[in-house]
């Protein structure tokens, strides 16, 4: 069997349209942080609204890709966190994308209910405006929150 050199993310940067690599090779090349995590940004697929930022380890990413339901790694609880398992506010994966240098994954999702644990539609409700931070959205009524 011929051994090929490990994939470099530079290979992806210079790749032609339609080029393809095995997922395992790409995951092996990602610059996972010292805790084995990568930043994951959730975006509503049809509106483009940025919903939240969380973290994934390789197992969470693999589960997400296999099941179609988004799973993160909870840094505070040190365990897998299946988005919406307690609140019902699940994220169904539409497509996953990697950024150019592989240090973040973009999850285009179909969000059911609020994305934020505060019950707000997204986690980015604190706007920095004119030297102050202003809260720009309220929790949705009758929302159960993720812990």
Q: Does residue 127 lie within any of the structural domains?
A: no
Range of the domain at 93: 29-112
Whichever domain contains 106, its CATH number is 3.10.20.810
**Residue range 137-144: mean pLDDT, rounded:** 75
**142 labelled ligand-binding:** no
Q: Are 74 and 6 in contact (CB under 8 A)?
A: no
**100 labelled ligand-binding:** yes
**110 labelled ligand-binding:** no
**79 labelled ligand-binding:** no
48-104: pLDDT as tens digits: 999 999 999 999 999 999 999 999 999 999 999 999 888 889 999 999 999 999 999
pLDDT at 97: 98
Total domain count for the chain?
1
**130 labelled ligand-binding:** no
Q: Does residue 108 lie within any of the structural domains?
A: yes
pLDDT at 3: 64
pLDDT at 111: 97
Q: Does residue 87 lie within any of the structural domains?
A: yes
CA distance 72 to 64: 8
CA distance 6 to 125: 42
Report the predicted TM-score, pTM, of the whole model to 2 decimal places. 0.88
């Amino acid at each position: 069997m011929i051994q090929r050199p490990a994939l470099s993310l530079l290979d992806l940067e210079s790749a032609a349209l339609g080029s393809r690599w095995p997922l395992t090779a790409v995951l092996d090349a990602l610059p996972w942080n010292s805790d084995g995590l990568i930043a994951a940004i959730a975006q509503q697929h049809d509106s483009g609204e940025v919903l939240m930022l969380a973290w994934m380890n390789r197992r969470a990413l693999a589960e997400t890709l296999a099941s179609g339901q988004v799973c993160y790694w909870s840094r505070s609880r040190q365990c897998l966190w299946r988005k919406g398992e307690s609140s019902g506010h699940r994220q169904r994966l539409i497509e996953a994308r990697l950024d150019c240098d592989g240090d973040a994954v973009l999850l285009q999702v179909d969000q059911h209910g609020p994305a934020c644990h505060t019950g707000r539609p997204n986690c980015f409700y604190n706007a920095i405006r004119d030297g102050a931070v202003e809260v720009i959205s309220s929790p949705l009524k009758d929302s159960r929150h993720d812990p």
